[in-house]
Structure 1
């Protein structure tokens, strides 16, 4: 059995501030980052806050997500030189979807485009 990728066991709360910092550096907001996370996972604002406080790891964060957005399969493009739509490992693909959405936010893309409206 291959060992799990380190990101799976990393607390979501330890990477979350990096998402927010990346967005804020480009004059976007924490509220927009939260909106993206909630769009992708179905967590309510209170549930998201609770997961951050609990230090839930990435794998659990995505496995327990209330409702993964079916439109997430429309997310295409590269993150760290890898096409998200080509990622075989399902959990890694979910994590990379979020990375891609935050990248799009930081690049100044309009929220309705990021949220595949």
Structure 2
């Protein structure tokens, strides 16, 4: 979702960068991440107006769904034109 490799993700963890910097410096944010919908902590991710908080919640939603055993393809939806 962010384009970080395993080593660059480890660098981000090691230097304890903020979420703001983590997302600002992400190599390649997935273009379909905005298609992630649903609630996380009682808040619909598509309704979040703060851009940084929305990026955080997209990632949070993806991790939550993966932990529930859902395949990544069902989480990272494709635009209607690509289905």
With the shorter chain as reference, the TM-score category is: 0.7 to 0.9
Residue of structure 1 in register with 2:63 after alignment:
102
Tell me how far 1:111 sits from its aligned partner.
2.7
Cα distance, 1:46 vs structure 2: 1.1
- State the 1:90 CA deviation: 0.3
User: Contact (CA 8 Å) 2:36, 2:76: kept in 1 or not?
Assistant: no
Q: By how many angstroms is 1:107 displaced? A: 1.4
> Segments of 4+ in structure 1 off by > 4 A?
none
TM-fit CA distance, 1:115: 3.6
Question: What CA RMSD, in Å, does the superposition of the two structures yield over aligned residues?
Answer: 1.2
1:46 matched to 2:7: yes
Counting only pairs closer than 5 Å after superposition, residues 1-117 of structure 1 correspond to structure 2 as 40-116=1-77
Gap runs ≥5 in structure 1: 1-39
Unaligned runs of 5+ in 2: 79-83
Give the C-alpha shift of residue 112 in structure 1.
Answer: 2.4
TM-score w.r.t. the length of structure 2 is: 0.86
SS of alignment partner, residue 41 of structure 1: coil
TM-score of the superposition, structure 1-length normalised? 0.63
Greater helix share, structure number:
1
**2:81 aligns to what?**
none
